[in-house]
Every structure is written in structure tokens, then in C-alpha cells.
Amino acid sequence: MADDFDMIAKTFFGLEGVLADELASLGAKEVSTGRRMCSFRGDRALLYRANIRCRTAVRVLKPVHAFTITDEASLYRGVGELDWLAHLEDDGSLAIDPVVHHSIFENTLYTAQLAKDAIVDQIRAKTGRRPSIDLADPDLRINLHIDRDRVTLYLDASGDSLHKRGYRAAAGEAPLNEVLAAGVLRLSGWDGASPLSDFMCGSGTLLIEAAMMARGIAPGTLGRRFGYTRWKDFCPATHDAEMASARAQARPALFFPIQGTDLDPEVLAAARENARRATVDGDIAWSVANFEDASPPAASGMLVTNPPYDRRMKTARIEAVYRRIGDALKQHWADHTAFLLIGNPDAAKHVGLRPSSKIRLFNGPIECRLLKFDLFAAQGDRSARQREASCESLPDFSNRLRRMARHWRRWFSRQNVDCFRVYDRDVPGVPLAIDWYAGHVLISPYERPHGRTQIEQTAWLEQIVGLAAEGLDVPRSKVLLRAGDAGAAGGGPRAEGTRMLTVHEGPLAFDVRLDPSKETGLAIDRRDLRKLLYDDAPECRALDLFARAGTATVAMALGGATSTKSVEASTGWTAWAKRNWKLNDMSSAVHRIVCQDPLEFVAQLDPAEGPQFDLALVEPPGFDGQRRAGVWNVQDGHVELLNQLLACMAPHGRIYFVTTFRRFKLDAPQLCCASVREITRRTIPRDIRDKKAHRSWLIFRDDQQADETKEQG
Ligand SMILES: C[S@@+](CC[C@H](N)C(=O)[O-])C[C@H]1O[C@@H](n2cnc3c(N)ncnc32)[C@H](O)[C@@H]1O
């Protein structure tokens, strides 16, 4: 037809075929598919219709000019060949979206700048006025496409991306793009007339798109605007006719169930609101449920879902979650077809069912697979995996805590110790440490694969907090959850603010800080080490290297050390140490705090000045085994550090050396004038289950060892 022109519609990878079908059904001619696009022909009415009705197009473009380039000047000239006043008023606004493939231009933005100059200069030369730039809401959006030396200029008929239907008020954690959701439904072959469910529906995109499809509600009728309505040749009558015809297609109600469930009530509230805005709220039944408890609304139908793909999730966890999804499908969804859009192709293996088809798609930059599973008869009982991952073992947990707390309270009250570990991974499926700090409770989750999704982990930890409060008989406000796997950043139960309190270990008192993400200032697993230092300190000149809050120094000072030196680089820790001094009436004249890098401090000790210490604690900071350039680590650096220190120890001097690096190997033969004994078993307290929470050694000056041997002889 004489009024027909070429157009292209852009889409996402993998949706080209379904978009071509959609365009053809709307009356497009000469439809052919390309990479992430379809080209077609039609008239102005079709241009409007494609924008209003297409569910799988991202935007519709109209080519207006094409030319070849050799350099910058030819790009400027080529853009200027078109009469821009035919498309834009001289006081209008424009934006240029560049798409550049294999071009002589490396800088995409520069091409847009050149094209903009060409348009603005041309209009100014003709009228003396210049259009302005408005990237967010221009009168004319131009797509500048450069492929090697070939340039095509398109007018963007959509303006904003067509995935913005106008119904999304609120999004969940990782909402699916509306165009992708519609594409998934088309690829699934859903007939728009049979029961449909999503058991991890999030903000409901798949189901809302499905309900709109089934009801014939065109995505462009929900109130959004289109770029072509601001074109100079805009025809309101044609637009109104297309809108009216699209609206006339809508059917009033559905005669089959659409069901959306999710574990997160907040995200479900967003889904409800989105559905209301899409005018399909009456078509979808929403409810809060774990996917393992969701059951189909009818004997047969389709399940389509997009399970969480948390990039921070550890592989073992992803595997466990997908195994549970597979179990749930087998258990509850017999006689259904299930489609899973999975953001982690490897995870698919763990569903434990053979997919009957796989389609490669992209969710933004994330490569996905749309897997189809044909589910037949129900299989097996609720699996062991499901039982393990759910919270069934928890009701007994508060009783266990009550028993353990009673036991340890009895034990520690005799020693006037009011902070200790009540629970330490005692139950395999409950990998937590729970510490008692003088009436307050600190829960620290161990980093362990657990097979729960983020929202499940949050709910699980909420439950743990409640059970801990009940079992330990404290108000919930006194239970603090450490940020771990599902902590503050990961959306764990609300982390309470910091609390400071004073705790006791026999005669010693310490200020501790209970904070979801910071150290407490008192390592419970060093309690017995502090006791050893206390007993060993009488009449000693003591050194505490890497002293942090100075808790070991306090032990040595109150144990009878004649003087102490606490060396610590951080001013925060040294300020804290001062508070501990005050709490224990330690005089700062004999108990000195040195704010200096401990390695530097030791390097500056001068053996010529004679023995300076009788007793020392050396506890270098943690090391994960990864050597980093320019960063000191305990494995490579301990020999030099200890030898420097040994040279300044008194003949009867002892160094207690402690590390949390589990694979640490103390290089004893390299130590000068020293004999070494590992004492880890003596320094791990009985309430700490992990017998390698730290490792410790006692290093004697050799003359001391020689004396001992002589005495024994
Ligand atoms: C990737 S999101 C789904 C996004 C959704 N397609 C949308 O467009 O908003 C995954 C969803 O799984 C939910 N989820 C995680 N664990 C769940 C569980 N055990 N039971 C039900 N839903 C769960 C999360 O709350 C989240 O909303």
C-alpha cells in the first residue's frame, strides 16, 4: 500500500519468534526476525497498534534515513541530510540514543553528540532558534544505529520502553521485566484459558501479564504515553480509534483460577497493588505460603515461576534450594506442566527432573534457561531434604537452650563469670553460636550451606530469636542477631542498635559492645587463656601485642604484673582499653597503652637495652590463608616477629602465641633460643564446642628451658 513504511520492533534475546507472531496477528506485513528485533511493514495505524498492543516488544522504531560514513565529518553531514524541521519544532526537545556496533567510533556518547550538533545546527541555520536536549522526556527520541560504516536513523515511536506498562507501583526483590514475563508465557504455550500458578510470585509480574493476556487487556491501555503522540505528523483520530479498538477487546472476567503465592508478605502486598493498577486484581488469588506448602488450584494446569537467584548465594545453597523445588514439583504438582525460569543454568541439574525443553533467554545481563517439566503421577513422601530445611526441629529448641543455660549458669556462677556460650552448633541443622552476656543474648549464625532461600532464612532466624528469648527467659529486645548470611544487608530480622554493657570474669570486669556487625571487644573463647595469663603474671613485666580492647592486659595487671604495655594500632581499640583500665582501677602510670603498629613496636625494641619483658601475649590479627602483596600475614611473618621479641625477653620469659588461622604451622626450629609447646587444649574453654576456635602455644626463652631441664636433672 502506498502509505506503508518500514518499521522495526526491538525485543529481548530469545523472544524474536513470539514477537514476530504477535506483529503478524496485529496485521504487520513482511515480518522477519533479526537479532533481538523484528522488521515489518505497515501504515501509521499499525505503528500505533504495535505500540498499544504488543506485549513482547521493547520499543517500535521508524527508520527515517540511512547513509554510510568514513569519518566524523561524514556522520555530521549524513545526519544533516534529513530535513529535521519536518519532525521537530525549532523550540522542541530531543534525545539521541546511540547503538554502536563495530564502528570507527569507539566513544558511543561522542557519536550522539555529533548527531545532536548536526540536528541543532541545521535548525538554527534555518530559523535562528535551536531545539533543546531533554534526555528524560523529549518531544522526539531518535535512535542512532551505527554498524561498521552503515548508519540508520530511527524515530522512536514508543518513547519510554514498552515494558513500562504503567501498573508497577512497587517491585519485589528482583522483579521480572514485563516484556520478558509476557515472552515466557508465550513461549510456554499457555492457552490463556487454563489454571495457572506461580509459587514464588514476588511482585506478580508473570501472573499479572497472564491475566492481562487472558482478559485481552492491551498493555498500552493502562495509561502510559507513547513517543509518537508528540510527533509532528501525529494523528489523534487514528490513535483514538486504535485505543478504542484495543479496549474493546477486553473481556470482563476469567473462568479459571490464577494463583500466586510467595513467602514474603511485603512483596505480596506489592503484587496485589500492581494487579489492582493493571485492573486484574479480581482475577488472581494471592496468598502467603512457602512453595513447599502451595498446592495447585485445580487437578491440572500450568505452573510458571522464576525462583530466586541471589548472586551472593553459595553454590551448595542454590543446589539445595533447587532440589527442594524439584521435590515440591514431584510431590504436589502432578498432572501439571511446570516452567522454571532459572537464572543459573547449573542449578537446573539439581531440580532432579528431566526437562522436556530448554530455552535460552536473558534477564537483563543474566543468562537464563526456561525449563519445561512434564509432571505425571505424585511421587514419594515429603522428602528428608524438605524436613531438614524447614523448621520442624525447632519447637524443642527453646527447651534445649533452657537446659543448657541452667547447666552453664550453675557452672559459671561459682566462678563469677557472667558471659559464656550457651549453644554452639549442638544440633547439626541449627548452625549457630548463642552467647550469654550478663542478661543479653547474642546469636551468631555460622556461614554454612543451609538450603534456604533468603526470605526463608530471614523467617527462620526470626523464629530462632523468638525461641532464644523464650528459652533463655529474656525479653526479645535483649536478643541480638549478628549480621551473617541473612543479616543486615541480606534482609535478616531487623538488627537492633548497639548496646554497651559491663560483664565479669571472676575478678576482671570488661566493657563489651553488642552490635550486629562489630566485634564485642571480648573473645569468649579466650577466657581460659586470660585465666592462664592471670595466674602467670605475678611480678612480671608484661606485654600485650595486638591488644585490641586490652582484655588480656587487664588479666595480667590484676594477676599481679608489676607493669604492662598494651600495643595496639587502632585508636578505637585503645580508647576502649582505657575504659577497661578505668573499670578495673588500673593505674595508667604502670599500665601503659601504646598506640602504634605492633610490628613496628617490636622492630624498634633494642636487645642492647637488656630484657624488657617477662611475659608476653602475641595474638596477631586473623588471616584467611590468602597472601596479599604488601600485607603482613601471620604464617609468613611469625618467625621474624617472635625472634625480635625473644631477643628482648627476660631469661625466664614466656610468650603466649595465639592465632585463629586454622592451617597455621609454627616454624619452631626457626625460633632462636626458644622451646615451644602447643597449649590449645588448655586454652579452649569447655563451653566452646569448636576445639580449634583458636590455637595457642607457649614459647619459653631457651635459658628457661635449660634451667627447667637442670632442675629436673
Ligand atoms: C526472583 S523473585 C520472583 C520475582 C517475580 N517473578 C517478580 O516478577 O516480582 C523470587 C521470589 O521467591 C520468593 N521466595 C523465596 N523463598 C520462597 C519460599 N520458600 N516460598 C515461597 N516463595 C519464596 C521471594 O520472596 C521472591 O519474591
Which cell numbers hold the place of 68?
554510510
Q: How high is the pLDDT of residue 707?
A: 53
Q: What is the distance between the alpha carbons of residues 628 and 530, in angstroms, rounded to a whole number?
A: 31
Q: Is 290 in the pocket of ligand 1 (CB under 6 A)?
A: yes
Long-range contacts formed by 362-367: CB under 8 A, 24+ apart: 362/12, 362/13, 362/14, 363/176, 363/177, 363/180, 363/306, 364/177, 366/309, 367/343
Q: What is the pLDDT of residue 415?
A: 86
549 lines ligand 1 (CB under 6 A): no
pLDDT for position 392: 41
203 lines ligand 1 (CB under 6 A): yes
**Degrees, nearest 5: CA angle 336-339-340:** 135
* C-alpha 476 – ligand 1 centre gap (Å): 28
CB distance 377 to 308 below 8 Å: no
SS3 content of the chain, % helix, strand, coil (to 5): 35, 25, 40
CA 544 to centroid of chain Cα atoms: 39
Atom of ligand 1 nearest to the CA of 203: 9
Q: 597 — phi, psi (to 5°)?
A: -60, 120
How many whole angstroms separate alpha carbon 62 and alpha carbon 50?
A: 12
Q: Is 206 in the pocket of ligand 1 (CB under 6 A)?
A: yes
DSSP β-ladder status, 432-437 and 419-424 = antiparallel
Instruction: Provide the 10 A C-beta neighbour count for residue 551.
Output: 26
**Ligand 1 centroid – CA 391 distance (Å):** 19
Contact predicate 17/55, CB 8 Å: no
Cell of 271: 503484587
**Quick check: 214 and 283 in contact, CB under 8 A?**
yes
CB 147 within 8 A of CB 108: no
Of 521, 525, 503, 48, the residue nearest 243 (C-alpha): 48
456 lines ligand 1 (CB under 6 A): yes
For residue 371, give the 3-state DSSP assignment.
strand
Minimal CA–CA distance to 91: which of 62, 116, 113, 124?
Answer: 124
**CA–CA dist 489, 454 (Å, integer):** 11
Q: Which amino acid appears at position 412 of this protein?
A: F
Q: How far is the CA of 318 from the centre of ligand 1 (A)?
A: 14
Nearest CA to ligand 1 atom 25: 264
Q: Which candidate, 187, 332, 192, 366, places its Cα nearest to that of 261?
A: 332
Residue 637, judged by CB atoms within 10 A of its CB (0-12, 13-18, 19+), counts as middle
Q: E strands, 57-114, where?
A: 59-68, 93-101
Q: Is 156 helix (H, G, I), strand (E, B) or coil?
A: strand
The C-alpha cell 596477631 sits at: 620
Mean pLDDT by 10 residues, the chain (713 residues): 92 97 97 96 98 98 96 94 96 95 79 95 96 95 94 97 92 83 97 93 97 96 96 97 96 89 94 96 94 91 89 67 92 93 84 92 91 76 44 71 90 90 86 93 81 81 91 91 55 58 95 90 95 95 97 96 96 96 94 96 94 96 84 94 95 94 93 92 93 94 57 49
Question: How many residues in total does the chain contain?
Answer: 713
CB distance 103 to ligand 1 below 6 Å: no
Residue whose C-alpha is closest to residue 404's, from 461, 481, 468: 468
Pairing mode, strands 132-133 and 93-101: parallel
453 lines ligand 1 (CB under 6 A): yes
3-state secondary structure 411-470: HHHCCCECEEEEEECCCCCCCEEEEEECCEEEEEECCCCCCCCHHHHHHHHHHHHHHHHH
For residue 504, what are the β-bridge partners? 509
How many CA atoms, within 13 angstroms, populate the side-chain half-sphere of residue 684? 15
Report CA(200)–ligand 1 centroid distance (Å). Answer: 4
Hey, what's the cell of 645? 621479641
CA distances from 204 to 162, 169, 226, 282 (A): 18, 12, 25, 14
Asked whether 599 lines ligand 1 (CB < 6 A), one says no
**Contact 111 CB / ligand 1 (< 6 Å):** no
Read off the amino acid at residue 543: L
Q: H-helix or E-strand containing 34?
A: strand 29-34
Quick check: 513 and 499 in contact, CB under 8 A? yes
Task: Please tell me the distance from the alpha carbon of residue 187 to that of residue 370, in angstroms, as a whole number.
Answer: 9
- The label of the residue with cell 548472586 reads 311
Q: 387 and 292 in contact (C-beta within 8 Å)?
A: no
What single-letter amino acid sits at 191?
D
Say yes or no: CB of residue 274 within 6 Å of ligand 1.
no
pLDDT tens digits, residue range 648-705? 999 889 999 999 999 999 999 999 888 999 999 999 999 998 888 999 999 998 765 5
Rounded Cα distance between 133 and 339, Å, is 44
Grid-cell match 546469636, residue found: 443
pLDDT of residue 256: 87
Q: What is the pLDDT of residue 346?
A: 77
Give whole-number Cα distances, 174 to 160, 211, 251, 278, 458, in Å.
21, 20, 30, 19, 17
**What is the DSSP secondary structure assignment for residue 345, as one 8-state letter?**
G
Query: What is the pTM assigned to this prediction?
Result: 0.68
Cβ(297) to ligand 1 under 6 A?
no
Cα separation, 386 vs 384, in Å, equals 5
In the beta sheet, which residues pair with residue 512?
Answer: 501
Closest atom, ligand 1, to C-alpha of 205:
8
